[in-house]
């Protein structure tokens, strides 16, 4: 056991030794700092404050630091000199914002001078480096390289840490770790601190030679990654290289593929040419991966695969859903799992929820004017009411209330001829965009929103275009909304004719759907301009083609506590549809019990209903007809008379399914 005096002496010696080491490290850092400042620069992009964006209140910019408030640029990363007017950075620093409205990135020197990037000289996506020149050469000192660093030696991470200027921090080179994909080189792992903004900076040895390019930070421990500098020095100066392997999937499919993104393009290129080349390559690679996956899954795509359950069932609750492959490989309609209802002014309503990474929405408006579909700004303002998307300033999250007009607007038709309005909004103050696919309906919209960057914008559009082909929507609206919507040929799909729904005061509602005609006379329920009407749509099959057609009709006489008529088609289920579908068909075919058409009533005799079946069970379809009357003091005889009046007006034609 050591005496107290000995313990005290050992502690003193240890402290002096630590202090000596700390002094040595501090001295080395101080000696390298001038070199680091002469060779290392910030990468910045201009700040953009779009005038068209509006917030719930004035942005509390006073909460930002003095530097951030007054800086006209966003500091996004680091670059350093490796030769005469030759600089290197991490590729992801420059590529992430390609094509955005933030403007062209530039170098900023220690005195605040801005130097625009001129030509891209080298680029490797997999190795995550990019080499470039600037338009007006600046005073810089190129770093010499060391290509054989020693594990355990002191290293210094230099960079624009947290976007607050170039700093230098010390640590050790802890290991050399094979790159994950094919082990073609070894990452340098080091313990010197690295923060957001350090990407693209140099990793120096004790005498100021660059040994690596800082690219990534370990998420769970203070061990960071740098690309050996020899990979940059020996890289191709004639072509960009891409060699990245990743999993690729789609929200509608369970299956995935492993896609190798390869290829490239000739170098050098100016900034504009490089931007166009990368965006084109990104779009081409996504399209190739999507095509490959769909080709692999051809036998599983509806109506192939296990599609019988969907074909045999008209899901009346699925007013807006995606046709998605389930865990057992069968297909089913998937609705948002976190749906939220938001009341809008003048009796409007907004529904929001997610399926995978896609935000699904429905908008019900109170008016019936055609101008609604042309007001893109108002459409996005409505979505923002429910999204409550904030901009964080200091410690406050300020909700965005308007994004103004879209930066891009176009129309696409899906496989069924439905017209989707495709729009995108750039946030401006950051490289994020909202891409929306909106299907006009009589009541308003049903659609999808996906967040993108400028780099992924076209890929997101292509994904949503595919999702549109598998989207289920019920067409709903008041008769006044239907009348105006059907008259708009630019928005109405061809399979819904202008004359499909008509209301005459004496003759009532006439509906002429594909394969089904129905008349609801005033003697059954009275239908007027404010009566809600839904045309229920369903997926089906014609040969090897997926179809989507009217499968039912729901008519309310008024909005609150309505009487209603529901007419639903039931196709004969195939053997793969499952026992539930077959049992339902058998019950309908028997036309007994609850399907006998006999009047039934509530306990208070304030509501009456009948459930009838039309059609021959030897055919391909049966029609279920539900009549619900919320009226007091009706006699059974009167309910029966209305039922017979309704059934007499229903005609089953040849099925399009």
What local confidence, expressed as pLDDT, does residue 618 receive? Answer: 86
Provide the pLDDT confidence category of residue 26 given band limits of 50, 70 and 90: low
Lookup result for tokens 């009549």: 627
437-446 average pLDDT score: 95
| Per CATH, domain 320-473 is 3.40.1350 | no
Q: Per residue in 234-276, pLDDT tens?
A: 999 999 998 899 999 999 999 999 999 888 899 999 999 999 9
Of all residues in the chain, the percent with pLDDT exceeding 70 is 94
Burial group, residue 633, by CB count within 10 angstroms (0-12, 13-18, 19+): exposed
Q: Is the pLDDT of residue 40 over 70?
A: yes
How far apart (Å, rounded) are the C-alpha atoms in residues 549 and 516? 11
What local confidence, expressed as pLDDT, does residue 433 receive? Answer: 95
What local confidence, expressed as pLDDT, does residue 644 receive? Answer: 97
What local confidence, expressed as pLDDT, does residue 319 receive? Answer: 87
Q: Per residue in 598-640, pLDDT tens?
A: 999 888 788 999 999 999 888 888 999 999 999 887 888 999 9
Q: Per residue in 55-111, pLDDT tens?
A: 999 999 999 988 888 999 999 999 999 999 999 999 999 998 888 888 899 999 988
Answer whether 25-233 and 320-473 agree in fold.
no
Is 353 strand, coil or helix? strand
* Domain-wise residue ranges, the chain: 25-233, 242-298, 306-318+475-657, 320-473
409-432 average pLDDT score: 94
How far apart (Å, rounded) are the C-alpha atoms in residues 532 and 585? 29
| Spatial CA neighbour of 577 closest among 548, 614, 540 | 540
The alpha helices in 434-501, defined as continuous H runs, are: 457-468, 479-486
User: How many C-beta atoms surround the C-beta of residue 479 within 10 A?
Assistant: 21
Class of domain 25-233: mainly beta
Q: Cα–Cα–Cα angle for 463, 468, 473, nearest 5°?
A: 150
CB-based contact 653:515 (threshold 8 Å): yes
Provide the pLDDT confidence category of residue 495 given band limits of 50, 70 and 90: confident
Lookup result for tokens 């080298």: 122
488-502 average pLDDT score: 87
Query: Which of 25-34, 147-156, 376-385 is predicted with the least confidence, judged by mean pLDDT?
Result: 25-34
CB-based contact 535:567 (threshold 8 Å): no
What local confidence, expressed as pLDDT, does residue 162 receive? Answer: 73
Query: Which of 428-432, 547-551, 555-559 is predicted with the least confidence, judged by mean pLDDT?
Result: 555-559
CB-based contact 165:201 (threshold 8 Å): no
| Spatial CA neighbour of 292 closest among 255, 329, 326 | 255
Contacts of 348-356 with CB under 8 Å at 24 or more apart are: 348/382, 348/444, 350/382, 350/383, 350/385, 350/386, 351/320, 352/383, 352/386, 352/387, 355/251, 355/321, 355/322, 355/324, 356/251
Query: Which of 100-104, 116-120, 585-589 is predicted with the least confidence, judged by mean pLDDT?
Result: 100-104
What local confidence, expressed as pLDDT, does residue 462 receive? Answer: 97
Q: Is the pLDDT of residue 364 over 90?
A: yes
Q: Is the pLDDT of residue 24 over 70?
A: no
User: How many C-beta atoms surround the C-beta of residue 238 within 10 A?
Assistant: 10
What local confidence, expressed as pLDDT, does residue 221 receive? Answer: 65
- The whole-model pTM stands at 0.90
What local confidence, expressed as pLDDT, does residue 641 receive? Answer: 96
CB-based contact 618:651 (threshold 8 Å): no
Q: Per residue in 192-203, pLDDT tens?
A: 988 888 899 999
* Helix %, strand %, coil % of the chain (to 5): 25, 40, 35
Lookup result for tokens 């020899």: 230
Q: Is the pLDDT of residue 318 over 70?
A: yes
Q: Per residue in 528-540, pLDDT tens?
A: 999 999 999 999 9
From residue 213, alpha-carbon distances to 160, 506, 542 in Å are 13, 81, 58
What local confidence, expressed as pLDDT, does residue 561 receive? Answer: 67
What local confidence, expressed as pLDDT, does residue 262 receive? Answer: 86
Q: Is the pLDDT of residue 391 over 70?
A: yes
């Amino acid at each position: 056991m050591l005496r107290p005096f000995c313990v005290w002496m050992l502690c003193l010696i240890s402290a002096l030794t630590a202090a000596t080491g700390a002094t040595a490290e501090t001295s080395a850092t101080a000696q390298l700092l001038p070199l680091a400042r002469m060779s290392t620069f910030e990468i910045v992009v201009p700040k953009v404050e779009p005038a068209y964006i509006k917030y719930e209140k004035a942005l509390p910019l006073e909460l930002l630091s003095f530097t951030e408030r007054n800086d006209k640029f966003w500091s996004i990363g680091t670059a350093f000199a490796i030769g005469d007017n030759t600089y290197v950075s991490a590729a992801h620093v420059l590529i992430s914002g390609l094509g955005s409205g933030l403007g062209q990135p530039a170098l900023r020197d220690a005195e605040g001078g801005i130097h625009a990037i001129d030509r891209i000289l080298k680029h490797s996506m997999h190795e995550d480096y990019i080499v470039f020149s600037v338009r007006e050469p600046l005073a810089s000192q190129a770093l010499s390289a060391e290509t054989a660093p020693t594990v355990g030696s002191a290293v210094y991470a230099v960079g624009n840490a947290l976007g607050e200027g170039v700093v230098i921090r010390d640590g050790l080179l802890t290991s050399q770790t094979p790159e994950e994909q094919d082990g073609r080189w070894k990452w340098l792992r080091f313990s010197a601190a690295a923060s957001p903004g350090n990407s693209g900076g140099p990793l120096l040895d004790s005498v100021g030679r660059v040994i690596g390019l800082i690219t990534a930070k370990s998420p769970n421990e203070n061990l960071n990654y740098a690309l050996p500098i020899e990979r940059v020095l020996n890289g191709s100066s004639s072509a960009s290289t891409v060699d990245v392997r990743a999993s690729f999937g789609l929200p509608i499919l369970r299956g995935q593929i492993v896609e190798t993104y390869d290829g490239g393009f000739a170098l050098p290129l100016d900034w504009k040419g490089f931007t166009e080349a990368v965006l084109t390559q990104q779009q081409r690679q996504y399209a190739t991966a999507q095509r490959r996956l769909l080709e692999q899954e051809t036998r599983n795509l509806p109506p192939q695969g296990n599609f019988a359950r969907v074909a045999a069932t008209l899901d009346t609750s699925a007013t807006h859903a995606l046709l998605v492959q389930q865990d057992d490989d069968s297909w089913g309609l998937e609705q948002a799992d976190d749906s939220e209802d938001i009341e809008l002014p003048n009796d409007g309503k907004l529904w929001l929820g997610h399926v995978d990474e896609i935000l699904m929405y429905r908008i019900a408006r109170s008016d019936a004017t055609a101008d609604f579909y042309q007001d893109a700004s108002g459409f996005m303002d409505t979505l923002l009411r429910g999204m409550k998307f904030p901009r964080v300033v200091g410690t406050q999250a300020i909700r965005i209330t308007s994004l103004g007009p879209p930066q891009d607007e176009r129309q696409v038709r899906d496989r069924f001829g439905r017209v989707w309005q495709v729009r995108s909004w750039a946030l401006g103050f950051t490289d994020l965009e909202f891409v929306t696919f909106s299907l006009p309906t009589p009541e308003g919209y049903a659609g999808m929103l996906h967040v993108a960057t400028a780099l992924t914008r076209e890929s997101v559009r292509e994904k949503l275009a595919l999702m549109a082909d598998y989207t289920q929507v019920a067409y709903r609206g008041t008769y006044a909304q239907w009348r105006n919507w059907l008259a708009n040929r630019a928005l109405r799909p061809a399979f819904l004719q202008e004359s499909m729904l008509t209301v005459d005061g004496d003759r009532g509602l006439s509906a002429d759907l594909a394969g089904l005609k129905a008349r609801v006379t005033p003697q059954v329920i009275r239908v007027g301009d404010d009566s809600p009407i839904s045309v229920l749509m369903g997926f089906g099959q014609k040969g090897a083609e997926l179809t989507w057609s009217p499968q039912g009709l729901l008519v309310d006489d008024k909005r609150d506590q309505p009487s209603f008529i529901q007419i639903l088609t039931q196709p004969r289920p195939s053997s793969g549809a499952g026992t539930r579908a077959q049992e339902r068909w058998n019950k309908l075919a028997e036309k007994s019990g609850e399907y006998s058409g006999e009047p039934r009533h509530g306990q208070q005799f304030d509501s009456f209903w009948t459930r009838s079946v039309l059609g021959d069970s030897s055919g391909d379809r049966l029609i279920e007809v539900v009549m619900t009357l919320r009226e007091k003091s009706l006699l059974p005889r009167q309910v029966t008379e209305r039922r017979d009046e309704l059934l007499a007006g229903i005609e089953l034609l040849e099925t399009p399914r």
